[in-house]
Amino acid sequence: MSKFNLGKIIGNAFGGSAGNLVESVANAADKFITTAAEKEAFKLELEKEVNRHGEAIAALVTEETKAYLADTSNARDNNAKIQESENASWLAKNVTYVLAVVVTIGFFGLLIYMLKYAVPESNERIMDILLGALATAWISIISFFYGSSQGSRENTKIIKSMVANK
């Protein structure tokens, strides 16, 4: 006859590392909770607590996304103000674009070089890291100028309206 293992049942329900944690807690409680009714009540309470924590994490992710989008929006707004300013120097108005061009040329130049020529084995890691850094910078530039996605633009609009309504 198999033993009613609350830890295994709950752990499987949640899956992943959260499931492992829940299973460990439930296994510890399994030693003290003996009746099926107590185990079911414990299972429900544990599920409520895990769900509450999941909701709290989701709220934190939402706040982080809002802050990121607000920061990006601020950077774009600042760039627009500099472009419109009569007192801004040529360098102030163009440094963003010059950096974008330099990173783009560097990224695609290194990519073409690595595809055309064999990189010495002793330098492969360095070249891979450099290519990864340039790719990340290039993606950031594209996201800055063109937006990362339509959803991002919609989120920016929503956040601006939320800030305006406060």
Distance CA 124, CA 129 (A): 9
CA 151 to chain centre: 15
Q: Which of 75, 80, 82, 62 minimizes the C-alpha distance to 159?
A: 62
Measured CA distances, 139 to 87, 126, 132 (Å) = 31, 20, 11
Residue linked to tokens 């695609």: 108
Q: pLDDT for 115-132, tens place per residue?
A: 999 999 999 999 999 999
The pLDDT of residue 156: 65
The pLDDT of residue 150: 55
The pLDDT of residue 134: 95
Distance CA 163, CA 57 (A): 22
The pLDDT of residue 166: 52
Torsion 10-22-40-57 (CA) sign: negative
Q: What is the pTM of this model?
A: 0.49
For the chain, domain boundaries:
6-55, 89-165
Give the percent of the chain with pLDDT over 70: 73
Q: Is the pLDDT of residue 153 over 80?
A: no
The pLDDT of residue 48: 84
Structural contact between residues 29 and 42, judged by C-beta atoms closer than 8 angstroms: yes
Q: How many Cβ atoms sit within 10 Å of the Cβ of residue 134? A: 19
The pLDDT of residue 38: 81
Q: pLDDT for 30-79, tens place per residue?
A: 777 778 888 788 878 878 887 888 888 888 888 888 887 777 777 778 88
The pLDDT of residue 18: 62
Residue linked to tokens 């299972």: 43
The pLDDT of residue 113: 93
* Number of residues assigned to the chain: 166
Torsion 49-53-58-59 (CA) sign: positive
Distance CA 44, CA 106 (A): 56
Q: How much is the average pLDDT of 74-90?
A: 85
